[in-house]
Structure 1
Amino acid sequence: MRYEDLADLPCSITRPLVVLGDRWTLLVLKASFAGVRRFNEFQSALGISRSRLQDRLGRLVEHGILARQQATDGNHPQYRLTRKGHDIYPILMAIKDWGDTYMAPDGPPAHYRHRDCTGEAHTQLTCDTCGADVTAHDITPEPGPGILAHLSQPRAE
């Protein structure tokens, strides 16, 4: 199966990976959350080639994750996170938590503190009905309306 064909699979993990599934895209998003807005700032912060950065920014704009706007000084375009982009933050935090646990032998390189109380921010899965913390062992995937709609569509031959 070709990489582009993955976008057509009825899977809410696979489809986002078509957009987010490479390191440069995630690093562009990490930089965006850190306040980087301009093309040259991204390039300088990440050490990424111009063409690759153009491709990743273009894809994020195309998918409504970043918005390309004129900067307030009017001289340069800037890239700002949209609501859809801000909703990716828990994904990055989950990767950070995993990295702190398994890939930071000397301890976390940074602490992500809650501005109001200075506690540390972490991701966790909870049940939307009872509020219990859950792990992969507690979850049973079941068909949803997206897969049922996909299965009822006529197949192209």
Structure 2
Amino acid sequence: MRYEELVDVPCSITRPLVIFGDRWTLLILKFAFAGVRRFNAFQTALGISRSRLHDRLDRLIEHGILVKQKAAVGAHEEYRLTQKGHDIYPILMAIREWGDTYMAPDGPPVHYRHEGCTGEAHTKLDCDVCGSELTARDVLAAPGPGMLGEATASDQSVNQVAT
């Protein structure tokens, strides 16, 4: 299966990989959340080729995650996060927490603090009915309305991921 064909797989984990499936896209988003908005600033921060950066920014615009607009001051254009883009923040924070736990032997390189009280920011998975905190052992994947057809190989792979 080609990378671009993943968007047709009836799985809400697989489909976003078409957008986020490479390191550059997540790093661009990391810097966008840090306030980087100009093409040259992304290129300087990432050390990425102009053509690759252009491709990744275009993909993020195409999917409605970034919008390109004229800067309030000056003649340059900026890349700004949309609401859809802001909704990616918990994903990045979950990756950051995992990295702090398993890949930061000397402790977290950066603390992400609540601006209002200086508490540490954390991600968590919880049940929308009872509020219990959940782990992979507590979750059962079941076909939803977006699943195409009946009992397909995709159904089996969904259940295998959950166990």
Same structural fold, with TM-score higher than 0.5 when normalized by the shorter chain: yes
Work out the CA distance in 1 between the residues paired with 2:60 and 2:5: 18
Matches of 1:56 and 1:34, distance apart in 2: 17
State the TM-score, normalized to the length of structure 1: 0.94
Kindly report the root-mean-square deviation, in angstroms, between the aligned alpha carbons of the 2 structures. 0.8
Counterparts of residues 60-99 of structure 1 (less than 5 Å): 60-99=60-99
Identity %: 72
Matches of 1:25 and 1:45, distance apart in 2: 13
Question: Within 5 Å, which residues of 2 pair with 1:48-127?
Answer: 48-127=48-127
- The aligned length equals 150
Shift of 1:73: 2.2
Q: How does 1:32-43 map to 2 (within 5 A)?
A: 32-43=32-43
Structure 2: 5+ residue runs without aligned partners? Answer: 151-163
Which portions of structure 1, spanning 4 or more consecutive aligned residues, are displaced by more than 3 angstroms?
none
Kindly provide the amino acid, as one letter, of the partner of residue 149 in structure 2: L
TM-score by length of 2: 0.90
Determine helix, strand or coil for the equivalent of 1:79.
strand
> In the alignment, what sits opposite 1:30?
30
Q: CA deviation at 1:72?
A: 1.2
Alpha-carbon distance in structure 1 between the residues aligned to 2:5 and 2:34: 32
Letter in 1 for 2:55: D
What do the CA deviations read for 1:9-30 (whole angstroms, capped 9, x no partner)?
Answer: 1100000011011100000000
In structure 1, what residue type is equivalent to 2:79? Y
